[in-house]
Amino acid sequence: MTKSPLTLYGKQVSSRLLLGTAQYPSPAILAKAVEASGTEIITVSLRRELPKGDQGQSSGGSFWDLIKAMDVHILPNTAGCHTAREAILTAQMARDLFKTNWIKLEVIGHHDSLQPDIFALVEAARDLVADGFEVFPYMTDDLVLAEHLLSAGCKVLMPWCAPIGSAQGPVNLHGLRAIRGNFPDIPMIVDAGLGRPSHAAQVMELGFDAVLLNTAVAKAQDPVAMAGAFSLATDAGRQAFYAGMLEPRNMAVPSTPVIGQAVFEDAVFGDV
């Protein structure tokens, strides 16, 4: 199957896999993992870019140089923000630094699960859209929340499949099916909780447009090989969705047709 482009706020990419850039063993391994994944979009936290030091040099400059050398789209995020105001300020600073209107909007409401604060998320999304941002909201698989985010002006949704970094995979397939089915024309990227390439294939088989992950690759024993595995799984899941998968059945169905089979009868032998 030829890879069809994915359009996000007017930009087209061919890869359906997005990668985060945190927690890698080294910048060199990060660069190799990005290359192995084939991704064209990476997320970057503003906290990776620190203010300039006493000598006027940015202590995050080497990291930023590495990111620019990858020649991919940058999706800054508001990771670590717990209020709408904090997320809005972080987004504005990220736009100044990374020169993009894209922003992955995270507003965390629960410290242990890192579940989004749905009320602050909608508030921040509405204000950021009004300020010219193109918002990618990190959200739960909630239909009402999706409606509010779309009404706020978001043109992409990013439902989780499990808490960030948990590697649990899709814990609520019914919820994911429902949100995909209710908004079939909205680009949706499953974000957070993916632990194995099979998880990526599973959600792509549901008809989602892409997946975003970080920890499962960055913390793997071999991040470069794992990045390649997730790339293959993402493509396989998408191809399976469009190929039309066989639905589960409660009964066995013979794979070999009965009609037309050879029939063997007892032979009657007479005297020779």
Answer yes or no: are the C-beta atoms of 33 and 223 closer than 8 Å.
yes
Measured torsion, CA atoms of residues 20, 188, 78, 60, in degrees rounded to the nearest 10: 30
Nearest to 78 by CA among 29, 128, 130, 131: 128
Contact between 113 and 140 under an 8 Å Cβ cutoff? The reply is: no
**Catalytic residue set:** 104
CA neighbours within 13 Å on the CB side: how many for 112? 0
